[in-house]
Structure formats: C-alpha cells, structure tokens
Amino acid sequence: MNSKARKTGSDLPPSREIEEDLTILHSRSVADVTRIQSDLLGTDARVADLFLRFVLETAEARDEPSRLLSKISEFTFQAFPVATHLALVTRNPSDGEMWPLIAESRDGEEPNVVLSGTLMNRVMNEGISLIFARSESTNSGIKTAICAPLSSPESTFGVMQLDIRGKKKGTFATKDVDRIAVFAHHVALVLDNHRLYLEQRQAFESTINALVHSLSLKDSDTASHSVRVRDVSVHLGKALELTETQLETLKVAALLHDLGKHGIRDEVLLKPGKLSQPEREEMSQHSELTQTILDKITFPGRLKDVPMLAAYHHEKIDGSGPYKLAGDAIPIQSRIIAVADVFDALVSARVYKKPLPPEQALTILGQGRNLEFDPLVIDTLKSLLSNIMAAVYGQDNEEADLAA
C-alpha cells in the first residue's frame, strides 16, 4: 500500500457528491449487527482472525490518532481485497457538514472522496448497509461500491465507503454488504472509544493543571519553578531516549514534584532567607507529602507510577535520600527531576538570592556527582545547556552571565 496516497483529517477537502444514476443492488438493515457478526465470523475463520487482530492492534494505538487511522486503513484493505479506495466520512457536530476522516487508495493514485449525498443520508438515517453500481455513462470513476453507517450508542455519526474504481478487476458480492456492516460497526466502536479516551485525557489534564494552579495560589514561585522543572526534564528525557510512556510520566511527575509543599507552613515555605535546621527538616517532608496527595488521585494506567516518581525526586545516588534508595534503584525519571530541580533553583532568581550563571550551576551539580546526582543526567544537561537556556529560560549563556 502506498503511504503517500493517504490523507487524513484536516488535510482532506470536503467530500464531493456525485450526481449520477446509481443503482442499489442489495441492502440490509444493520439493526441486528450482533447476529450478522455471529453468522459471519462463525463461517469464515480467516475473517474471524482478521477481526481479532484488528481489535487488538487498534486498542494498542488508541492514544495515537495517526497510527489508529493507519491501522483502520490497513485492516480495511485486508478485509476487502478487491476494494481500490476507502473513504471514512464523519459528521461535524458543530455544523452538520460531512468531512472525510480517511481517504486512501490502495495503489497510490490521488485519493478523492466521491459520495452520493442521497445514498449517504439513506445509509445513516435508515441504518442500512448496501452495495451500489453506477451506469457506464457517468464519470466519477466508481464502478461499484459498498457502504455502511458508523454508529455509536448515542448516534450515527458517519459512513464507511469502499469503492472499486476504473478498470480494476473484481466486484463486490452480496456477502460484502454483511462484512462491511460488521467492519463499520467495529470501526465506529474504535473511533468512539478514541473520543472517550481523549475526553478522559482532557479531564485528567485539567485536574493536573488545577493542582498546579492551586499551588500558585500558595506560592507563585514554586508553581513557576515546577513548570520550568518539567520543561528541563522533558529536554533531558528525550536526549536520554526515554520511551513514550516514560516521557509522559516524567512530564507529569516533574510538574507535580513539589505539590507536597501545600503541607508546609507558610512561614517556612515563604521565608525570605535561610532556613533553620528544624525548618529544613520540615521542608524536607514535602516529598513524602507529595506522594500522600498524589496517591489520592486515580491516575490512568500508563501514569500509575507518577506519585512514586514525584516523591523520589530527592533520592540521592549514594542512598542517603528520604526513601534510602540508591543508584539504579531510583527510577530514571526521578533522577532526571532531581537534577532539573536543583538546576532551576540555582539559575532562577528569588527574593532572597540572585540567579547563578548556568555554568556555575553545573559546577555545583558536579560536586554531587555520584553522591547526590546521576552523572549521566548531569552530562546530558551539560551537552544541552545552550538549548535548554534558550528554550526554557529564553536566554543564551552570555545573557545568563550578564543577568547574574
């Protein structure tokens, strides 16, 4: 399959309706799609295996929109070997217009979305799948096509259409009307689950943002520090080639690493000067308080380690931190946050101190090499220093030196 032929989402033009003499060859209601599926999968082991792989692989890709659409296209062309073109068209809830989510050709020709508005409305409104053919005198290029509705429990929101265009051999059979009914049903479930996943993710992200905002109400310096620690940490994590999941947990844990400061008395947290020994001991409790707070939040499965990662940001390589973890027993995300946390504290201004030049901050971090901090993380920070100072702090090293 030629990947260059694929266009998706906002890259695609609106669907083009065909004004042609179309003949419906066969149709059936998809109201009882469960029974249709049972009959289909019970008599065709190859199709049953394909559907199983489709369910598994789209589930794995649910949080990656482009990969998810690619999987839908890949399995659709496997399920319908004679199809030359695929169009997945959904209704825009804001204006009711139909827009293509996928338009792909099997053999690499430029894909065009060619639909009959009359048939599309019938498929959606009546809940039917059908096969139609065009007369020889028309010029859309479609020889024959099958289509079926995309429906969620709440509504019918689109149409799947497969075409055979041009002089390609082969034709759709009556059994393909059942097959596309079942396949479109599964595609609709995948798309609806993806929508729900995005809504849940947005709700979770709003919760995280609300937590950071709540910290800014107590101490705006700590809140802005948390944002910078997140940004520095992400730069380091990418350079250290963390996995996508590790990067996501790093991003969230770094942003929330100081949330436990909610539990520190204002006279200690906001003190404009050096802390006494008892005050330092109180302040050191914020790591454990962070985990206590975050453990009360139900994190998505991929982020379940965030409370632990955030809490371990004061662990030391030599094992002298609050939880007494040492070396590689400290998760890599926590080791990254530890370096980013101290680096930002050193190069940022406070009411009681001036910012240090970044090179001096690196020297101080180097004094804790193999004692407090992971040497690999320090070396990575050093190699990225110019980029980080520009991207996170908006200045190059020369400007940082002048500011100090």
Tens-digit pLDDT profile for residues 269-293: 767 777 788 887 777 777 778 887 8
- In this prediction, residue 239 carries a pLDDT of 97
89-104 pLDDT, tens per residue? 998 877 778 888 888 8
| pLDDT at residue 137 tops 70 | no
Q: How confident is the model at residue 320 (pLDDT cuts 50, 70, 90)?
A: very high
- The CATH code of the domain that includes 224 is 1.10.3210.10
| pLDDT at residue 12 tops 50 | no
- Judged by DSSP in three states, 173 sits in coil
Q: Is 261 a catalytic residue?
A: yes
- Quick one: 129 and 271 in the same domain? no
- In this prediction, residue 400 carries a pLDDT of 45
Does the reported pTM lie above 0.75?
Answer: no
* Torsion angles phi and psi, residue 325, rounded to 5: -80, 150
- Quick one: 133 and 262 in the same domain? no
Give yes or no for a contact between 123 and 111, defined as CB atoms under 8 angstroms apart.
no
- Judged by DSSP in three states, 305 sits in coil
**What's the whole-number average pLDDT of the chain?**
84
- Quick one: 233 and 332 in the same domain? yes
- Quick one: 241 and 93 in the same domain? no
Q: Is 214 part of any domain?
A: no
Q: Is 204 part of any domain?
A: no
193-212 pLDDT, tens per residue? 888 887 888 888 888 888 88
- Quick one: 314 and 350 in the same domain? yes
Q: Is 14 part of any domain?
A: yes
- In this prediction, residue 200 carries a pLDDT of 80
Q: Is 399 part of any domain?
A: yes
| Total structural domains within the chain | 2
- Quick one: 184 and 45 in the same domain? yes
- The CATH code of the domain that includes 47 is 3.30.450.40
224-261 pLDDT, tens per residue? 899 999 999 999 999 999 998 999 999 999 999 888 77
- Quick one: 86 and 166 in the same domain? yes
Give yes or no for a contact between 212 and 223, defined as CB atoms under 8 angstroms apart.
yes
- Quick one: 335 and 380 in the same domain? yes
Q: Of the listed 71, 143, 251, 261, which one is catalytic?
A: 261
- Quick one: 340 and 262 in the same domain? yes
Q: How confident is the model at residue 117 (pLDDT cuts 50, 70, 90)?
A: confident
Q: How confident is the model at residue 110 (pLDDT cuts 50, 70, 90)?
A: low
Q: CA–CA separation, 211 vs 205, rounded Å?
A: 10
- In this prediction, residue 398 carries a pLDDT of 53
16-45 pLDDT, tens per residue? 555 556 789 999 999 988 888 888 888 878
Q: Is 211 part of any domain?
A: no
- Whole-number percent of the chain with pLDDT over 90: 43
Q: Is 300 part of any domain?
A: yes
Lowest mean pLDDT among 42-46, 147-151, 346-350, 383-387: 42-46
- Quick one: 152 and 294 in the same domain? no
Lowest mean pLDDT among 8-12, 84-88, 270-274, 280-284: 8-12
- In this prediction, residue 259 carries a pLDDT of 83
- Quick one: 368 and 302 in the same domain? yes
Domain containing 392 equals: 219-403
- In this prediction, residue 20 carries a pLDDT of 56
Q: Is 363 part of any domain?
A: yes
The most confident of 106-115, 293-302, 376-385, by mean pLDDT = 376-385
Q: Is 202 part of any domain?
A: no
Q: CA–CA separation, 184 vs 178, rounded Å?
A: 10
| pLDDT at residue 2 tops 50 | no
The residue among 163, 196, 229 that closes a domain is: 196
- Quick one: 290 and 356 in the same domain? yes
Q: What is the mean pLDDT of residues 345-350?
A: 90
